Amino acid sequence: MEAAAVQVLIVDDEPLARARLRNLLTGQAGFEVCGEAGDGPSALAACADTAPDLVLLDISMPGMDGLETARQLAELETPPAVVFCTAFDAHALSAFEAQAIDYLVKPVRAERLAAALDKVRTFLAGRERKQEGASQAAARSHLAARLRGSLRLIPIEDIRYLQADEKYVVVHHARGEDLIEESLKSLETEFSGRFVRIHRNCLVARDEIVELRRSPEGNVHAVLRHVETPLEISRRCLTQLRETLRHL
């Protein structure tokens, strides 16, 4: 199966600069623009909505600059790779301190962008190998929920779906629901063979899904075997979900 394209968010306060980067990316196989933003706060909101793999980020922007934006991106559960694009080279040291993959000086040349994207491919492939290695470790047979000083064990096979709720995850299972203090991403990595992501805040047991149903408004929901209300599927997850279900 062909690897999914690397999703790229372009962030620059100048529309012409964003358009140039978008045009340059059309010549780069395996990369796809998933959105644009004109400032730091908009970039953070776009990342929350689309979860890009890579952010091409301007440094000099009004309000929250690119360096502060990158620092906040680094705090995400799965932070995107960051490549800075700026008209000045005086920020190079600060850029790499912000864990940037590369640093491009405007006007960005196609060959220089291509070299940066090669570094991004290497970075993302290495992170994926680490995640795969973690998922190959012995998976737990139960999750543990703490209840007023007690401990409730929830068998993995009883779990219908997992839903993020601020710093907790709500475990919906055969006997009801419980809160656990774990991240959805770590659970997805550990139990990748059992659960599939349908939304940035929701994992569903694969064998619970009986139908993908489109509503009159055009939204797609997952109908589960033991859950009365269908669950919304995000557009970002839909293609991969369909592909996963075809190979069950």
Q: What is the pLDDT of residues 49-81, one digit of tens each?
A: 899 999 999 999 999 999 999 999 988 888 999
Over residues 77-97, mean pLDDT: 77
Give the C-alpha separation, 129 to 96, whole Å. 23
Using CB atoms within 10 Å of the CB of residue 102, give its burial: 0 to 12 exposed, 13 to 18 middle, 19+ buried.
buried
Q: How far apart are the first and last CA of the chain?
A: 14
Q: Is the pLDDT of residue 210 over 80?
A: yes
Q: What is the mean pLDDT of the chain?
A: 89
pLDDT at 187: 92
Which residue, 169, 213, 165, is CA-closest to 191?
A: 169
Which residue, 61, 81, 78, is CA-closest to 70?
A: 81
Domains belonging to the chain, first-starting first, are 6-135 (3.40.50.2300), 142-246 (2.40.50.1020)
**Residue 50, Cα to own-chain centre: how many angstroms?**
7
pTM (2 d.p.)? 0.56
Of 236 and 158, the structure prediction assigns the larger pLDDT to 158
Q: In what order do the strands lie in the sheet with 209-214?
A: 209-214, 220-224, 231-233
pLDDT tens track for 100-139: 898 899 999 999 999 999 999 999 998 887 766 655 555 6
The residue behind tokens 């290497």 is: 122
Q: Is the pLDDT of residue 225 over 60?
A: yes
pLDDT at 201: 94
pLDDT at 1: 46
Using CB atoms within 10 Å of the CB of residue 135, give its burial: 0 to 12 exposed, 13 to 18 middle, 19+ buried.
middle
Give the C-alpha separation, 82 to 75, whole Å. 13
pLDDT at 4: 82
pLDDT tens track for 183-202: 998 899 889 889 999 999 99
Dihedral sign for Cα atoms in the order 135, 3, 111, 53? negative
